[in-house]
Structure 1
Amino acid sequence: MPMYAIPKPDDRLPVDTYVAARTWLLANDPDAARMIEWSLNEIRPPKSPENMASEIIWIILCAGRSAQAARTIEAKVWRAIRAGEPVVTAFGYRAKASAIERAWRDREADFAALQDVLATNDTVRLLEWCRAIPFVGQDTQYQLAKNFGVQVCKPDIHLCRLSGFPDRPQAPVKVRFAACMALCGELARASGDSIAVVDSILWLACNKGVLVTDCDAAPITLNTKPVTARSIYESGPAAS
């Protein structure tokens, strides 16, 4: 089995660069303030089966596509759900459409099971619960747990590149997660932000092209040219 060295956070992304990216985003991208507000005050255990199911559906849609593309599909999916129509009529990926229908149909039972898990205050058990949901993957289990209020980051392609990992060969998720948490933890301690805020800002900065590094984990550069990517909160043209 290959050995993977966990990069030192300061070697990849100094806190000054993180703060500069956060400051620039807040001054130039309306999504940033909304993202920070959400990370600080809105991520918490779901209050209802419907709230929980909506988070699960969002995670299913996010896997393998940009947030902007997922937002467009999300609007179509919810129109189908509210109209009582098969989700596949709005989202042609049949297996994922079926997983979305299951999440909505079984929301009461899932919510009750989630309460039992949350009562243990055990992050590992919560991650296991998240991972057991159809089409919640090894990376998105962390995203769902974060959305349920746990201070963890999602070791997605953006954060892994920032942490010093090449895209291929992909390191095991536990190795990537440890490195990404080390990066977020160091930046959180140095900046005063929470891990959830750091994770959100780093993800947004990569999504909007403000922090740039390539698939070979090259040095990170700060790009302060105008953002051209659309808002992550707005639906765009219809997508399949």
Structure 2
Amino acid sequence: MTLEEYLGYRQRVGELDPDAMKKVETKSPPIDATDFALRVSYVILNSGMRWTVAQDIWSRMKSSLIELGEVGDTFGHPGKKKSINQVMSNRTEYFEGFRSAWQNGPEEVIAFCETLPHIGGITKYHLAKNLGVDVAKPDVWLERVAARSGETVHDLCGRLSRQSGHSVSTVDYVIWKACQQGWWGL
């Protein structure tokens, strides 16, 4: 992908959803254990699921997590439900682990993310982004775009970040959204 292609997608994404662009550009680390646990829970819920479906479930689940500290009957996937409940129950301990990793840099945060329940080798990047690390998630769509450019996802997003002055996370989001909208020819 060229810089010009990326910038064209960036403009279209900004016009489509300016609020989302502001959120992706201003990710900061969680402020407390509950904020941390909610971010982890969202990524667990969202993994392997269409974004639109996850948003609907999340709108029901979030209040239960805040009020009860567990999923309750808002969601039925047994593995994800168990993992989310575990994160909520142990949020203080996990948050302390995150804070320790944060002090040691982005690579430590990414490695820490993979130690959490239901977070795997790709999802750890999604979670790290949601926790404030400026990194790309090498999902299927970004892998295809990068392969066509003859690069890895991290190389592609890093190059476009340097060329555009946008964060790696922003570049990642713009490319993902362009694919999700069907603008990029897969």
Distance 1:143 1:197 in 2: 13
Q: Which runs of 5+ in 1 are unaligned?
A: 1-12, 166-177, 214-240
Letter in structure 2 aligned against 1:205: A
Distance 2:132 2:123 in 1: 14
Larger Rg over CA atoms: 1
What TM-score, normalized to structure 2?
A: 0.90
Which of 151, 155, 159 aligns to 2:138? It is 155
Indicate if the aligned counterparts of 1:88 and 1:94 stay in contact, CA closer than 8 A. no
Structure 1 68/162 Cα, relative in aligned 2: closer, same or farther at 3 Å? same
Indicate if the aligned counterparts of 2:38 and 2:62 stay in contact, CA closer than 8 A. no
Indicate if the aligned counterparts of 1:139 and 1:155 stay in contact, CA closer than 8 A. yes
Structure 1 counterpart SS, 2:152? helix
Letter in structure 1 aligned against 2:33: P
**Counterpart in the other structure of 1:100:** 84
Q: How many equivalent residue pairs?
A: 184
1:184-195 aligned within 5 A: 184-195=157-168
Indicate if the aligned counterparts of 2:143 and 2:153 stay in contact, CA closer than 8 A. yes
Indicate if the aligned counterparts of 2:70 and 2:88 stay in contact, CA closer than 8 A. no
Shift of 1:114: 1.4
Letter in structure 1 aligned against 2:176: W
Which of 176, 179, 183 aligns to 1:206? It is 179
Which of 131, 134, 141 aligns to 2:117? It is 134
**Counterpart in the other structure of 1:22:** 10
Structure 1 83/116 Cα, relative in aligned 2: closer, same or farther at 3 Å? closer
**Counterpart in the other structure of 2:22:** 37
Distance 2:58 2:180 in 1: 18
Q: Which runs of 5+ in 2 are unaligned?
A: none
**Higher RCO (C-alpha under 8 Å, 6+ residues apart):** 1
- 1:137-190 Cα offsets, whole Å, 9 max, x none, are 11110111122222210001110111127xxxxxxxxxxxx7001111111122
Shift of 1:64: 0.5
Letter in structure 2 aligned against 1:201: V
**Counterpart in the other structure of 2:126:** 143
Letter in structure 1 aligned against 2:123: T
Distance 1:116 1:147 in 2: 17
Shift of 1:45: 1.5
Indicate if the aligned counterparts of 1:35 and 1:201 stay in contact, CA closer than 8 A. no
Shift of 1:81: 2.9
Indicate if the aligned counterparts of 1:88 and 1:98 stay in contact, CA closer than 8 A. no
Letter in structure 2 aligned against 1:52: F
Structure 1 86/23 Cα, relative in aligned 2: closer, same or farther at 3 Å? closer
- 1:93-140 Cα offsets, whole Å, 9 max, x none, are 11110111111111111111211111122x232122100111111111
**Counterpart in the other structure of 2:37:** 53
Indicate if the aligned counterparts of 1:55 and 1:144 stay in contact, CA closer than 8 A. yes
